[in-house]
Amino acid sequence: MELKSKIPSGPLADKWDKHKFEMKLVNPANKRKYHVIVVGSGLAGASAAATMSELGYQVSCFCFQDSPRRAHSIAAQGGINAAKNYQNDGDSIWRLFYDTVKGGDFRSREANVYRLAQISVNIIDQCVAQGVPFAREYGGLLANRSFGGAQVSRTFYARGQTGQQLLLGAYQALEKEIARGGVKMYNRHEMLELVIVDGKARGIITRDLITGEIESHLADAVVLGTGGYGNAYFLSTNAKGCNVTATYRAYQRGAAFANPCFTQIHPTCIPQSGDHQSKLTLMSESLRNDGRVWVPKSQADCGLPPSEIPEQNRDYYLERKYPSFGNLSPRDIASRAAKEVCDEGRGVGPGGRGVYLDFADAIGRLGVHMITERYGNLFEMYERITDENPYERPMRIYPAVHYTMGGLWVDYNLMSTIPGLHVIGEANFSDHGANRLGASALMQGLADGYFVIPYTIGDYLASSKPEPITADHAEVRRSMESVLARQTRLLGIKGKRTVDSFHRQLGHLMWEKCGMARNASGLKEALNEIPKLREEFWQNVTVPGSGAELNQSLEKAGRVADFLEFSELMCLDALTREESCGGHFREEYQDAGEAMRNDEKFAFVSAWEYAGSGKAPILHKEPLEFENVHLSTRSYK
Amino acid sequence: MTATTKGGLSLTLHVWRQPNAAAAGKMVKYQATDISPDMSFLEMLDVVNEGLIAVGNDPIAFDHDCREGICGSCGMMINGAAHGPMKLTTACQLHMRSFKDGDDIFIEPWRATAFPVVKDLVVDRSAFDRIIQAGGFVSARTGAAQDGNAIPISKVAADESMDAAACIGCGACVAACPNASASLFTAAKVTHLGLLPQGQPERFRRALQMVEQMDLEHFGGCTLFGECQEACPKGISIDSMMHLNRDFLLATATAKEEKSEMGAG
């Protein structure tokens, strides 16, 4: 396997313009002759499907939910970054680029990130034109808020529902194209296999989740926008349906998987309330604009109601340790700091796994009305879940798995190592390095879907000129048979344990050994235990019902079976990367709690090649070259 | 960490079970024991389902995904109320502390001709997608936009538009309406886009076509019962009907034959 990043030559700021001119075009009359499959209908998938259809390509789009509008992008709360500099506070494309590379702890590609920062401004314009109701100032202009890891105010938002509003914009554009006949939408269809013919991605095998029918869908190119793999941990802020199956299958069929150990633990989530917990709920990072994070200075005070702990006995640890960024320190740093104080026994709430996020000062300064206007829906959500009123009592928060920076390896054109297989949004690895900054996921999903893939897909189609194939091709039949065989096997085990019980056990193991802090011996233990758990799964899981009906247990079983393999790759990657960077914190490599990168040995992207069942995957390295930013120790002090 | 310190609830569930769209359905009784008040309603169903699977029975099928009240996937009638007894709350955000030990809970799917049952509590809401397809968008081709600040929008209009845009498309309004009307859903989209300058060029066309599609999908008409507004987990106001009715009437009164899409020549 050869990793060709295809980064254009020339000065950083000119690369994308130059590349756009050099790429081949498909003329308008020929576009309708090409068929592109898009899997996933989140921000990346919906925007890509709609835009490619507008250009004239025939598009088929797939989602497992009952409507494309339900994709998990809908749940993003806080905002979307863009280098508009509307606040006149010194922002620029260069600064957004620099903040993102630094925020990612120097483990992303300069050229991709610069392009992202350039495109960010077009995204806001596009979304406004679609009718996304962004927050406005009284003068009618767009409002901004601040987010972690930045000292400028560049985040655009729609109350606490920014993801929802951006997704509805993309969804409506998609529905417009469905009505026009440019996109054929397949709801409640799950991709279970990738079809490769003559070395090129030519289609997918899906299961119709209502009828159970296994179908083949063929095309000239395939685009995956299938999101991240945070549900490997069972408990995460991801929606219950989020899964790794599509990207893992692509990996098994030859696509390199990059940096699987780079996972983001978000610092502000509602703590777990019990063993029944099915998922965790995020409280937007935007709350850290006005909320102050603290724990008692002394362990002895932890049981007291927060109102009885006087000011001098509180430790505002983020403000103390990181005075220049304070409560707006980046996510990885804020999460680790929370873990640290809880490990010291100074955590609050049930089990001592929580810290306070306190709005008393902000309410005093701005009034209840302003706080309600900014965060009202989040406060309501918090109260609904915890039965505590955050206007009167500080919120309790604790870190939780939220996002995965790792993903399928892609080149500058967002194409994987399989020709014709493109990967967009959270499903690829490209822009966030080892830690994603807040409000950058929405930016990247829409950049990839609206403004990158519509250009690069044309270049691929014009240069590769795929030959027509039909559903009776031997490869298509073989792929369908492998899907059916796996399904038959899952249904036939008829063991004693439920799918969820395995998923919970895997999640617990991953959280303990490959979570916020990792070390070699823990990772080795996980690598020893995961295969055993997997073996037990394949012998003792029970999946009721049949394959010829709506069978939610069968859907889950297939996804958990893939997590049981994929999590091994996450641990292996974490073990191999003997440094701490961003969200990947190896306890052996630290300087008094701060991550210690090793640029000499690890300034590369780890791209793993599947070597076959039961064989160790092969590590390939894409060196990261920094020509424009100076590699430095990331400091927010 | 244990959550059952507040004492577990014992509940009797009566759940609509229907194997598929063609089969007949019926209410089936289940016992749910040791339910923590901190559980969400769907977590309570998870517990019941784990018990069913363990003894080889088919678990209760229900749609759900984000479990944060924003994706709109979940939705069921709980004791006769869409999403249950708590106002402004989806089923996934309803917590068991809203119930008492010993309660009977009746759980049924949305009931509407336009939302046929797929299985148990799962219904087919694709009619909503087709209403959006009929005109619930602003035609703004990617790449053609001007600067975002070139269109100032008063904060009042933006806020009111956002209120309507908060709809999650769950279908509770239809389920709660005695006529099974989709008017609140449709009105919310017409209001969201109609209040913004970007939505003006297609404003009347949008209202006309979305209402036509609503009728084609066999949703009932609105007779202003107001049940939709009571059931809406996002607080969409029935005032949005005013925008829909006004735009629809103006559209009907001023409708002109549309010329070919590409203009002359």
Q: What is the mean pLDDT of residues A215-219?
A: 98
Task: State the Cα–Cα distance between residues A18 and A15, nearest whole angstrom.
Answer: 5
CB contact under 8 A, B129 and A47: no
pLDDT digits (tens, 9 = 90+) for A458-494: 999 999 989 999 999 999 999 999 999 999 999 999 9
A266-401 CATH choice from 3.90.700.10, 3.40.50.720, 3.30.365.10, 3.90.330.10 = 3.90.700.10
Q: Tokens for A610? A: 């599947």
Interface test with B, best of A240, A382, A508 (most B CBs within 10 A): A240
pLDDT at B265: 47
Interface test with B, best of A70, A185, A398, A554 (most B CBs within 10 A): A70
C-beta separation of A338 from A398 below 8 A: yes
Task: State the Cα–Cα distance between residues B158 and B151, nearest whole angstrom.
Answer: 12
Neighbours of A467 (CB within 10 A): 10
Mapping DSSP to helix (H, G, I), strand (E, B) and coil, where does residue A633 land? coil
pLDDT digits (tens, 9 = 90+) for B167-209: 999 999 999 999 999 999 999 999 999 999 999 999 999 999 9
Element (H or E) spanning B193, and its range? Answer: helix B183-194
Mapping DSSP to helix (H, G, I), strand (E, B) and coil, where does residue A163 land? helix
B31 forms beta bridges with: B12
Nearest to B240 by CA among B231, B229, B252, B227: B229
The overall average pLDDT reported for chain A is: 96
pLDDT digits (tens, 9 = 90+) for A74-117: 999 889 999 999 999 999 999 999 999 999 999 999 999 999 99
**Amino acid of residue A232:** A
CB contact under 8 A, A276 and B43: yes
Q: What is the mean pLDDT of residues A230-252?
A: 98
Nearest to B29 by CA among B131, B146, B107, B85: B107
Chain B residues 134-193 with CB within 8 Å of chain A: 134, 136-149, 151-155, 158-159, 161-162, 165-166, 168-169, 192-193
Specify the pairing of strand A604-609 against strand A263-269.
unpaired
Q: Which residue has the tokens 């914009």?
A: A169
> Where in chain A are the domains?
266-401, 474-603
Q: How is A448-493 classified by DSSP, letter by letter?
A: IIIIIHHHHHHHHHHHH-PPP--TTSHHHHHHHHHHHHHHHHHHH-
Name the CATH topology of B126-254.
Fumarate Reductase Iron-sulfur Protein; Chain B, domain 2 (1.10.1060)
pLDDT digits (tens, 9 = 90+) for A560-582: 999 999 999 999 999 999 999 99
Q: What separation, in Å, do the N-terminal and C-terminal C-alpha atoms of chain A show?
A: 42
CA distance B222 to chain A (A): 24
> Where in chain B are the domains?
4-119, 126-254
Q: What is the mean pLDDT of residues A535-555?
A: 97
The overall average pLDDT reported for chain B is: 94
pLDDT digits (tens, 9 = 90+) for B4-55: 445 799 999 999 999 999 999 999 999 999 999 999 999 999 999 999 999 9
B4-119 CATH choice from 3.30.200.20, 3.10.20.30, 3.30.1360.40, 3.40.630.10 = 3.10.20.30
CATH number of the A474-603 domain: 1.20.58.100
C-beta separation of B175 from B233 below 8 A: no
Instruction: State phi, psi for B129 to the nearest 5 degrees.
Output: -60, -40
Neighbours of A40 (CB within 10 A): 31
pLDDT at B260: 62
Chain A residues 422-481 with CB within 8 Å of chain B: 450-451, 454
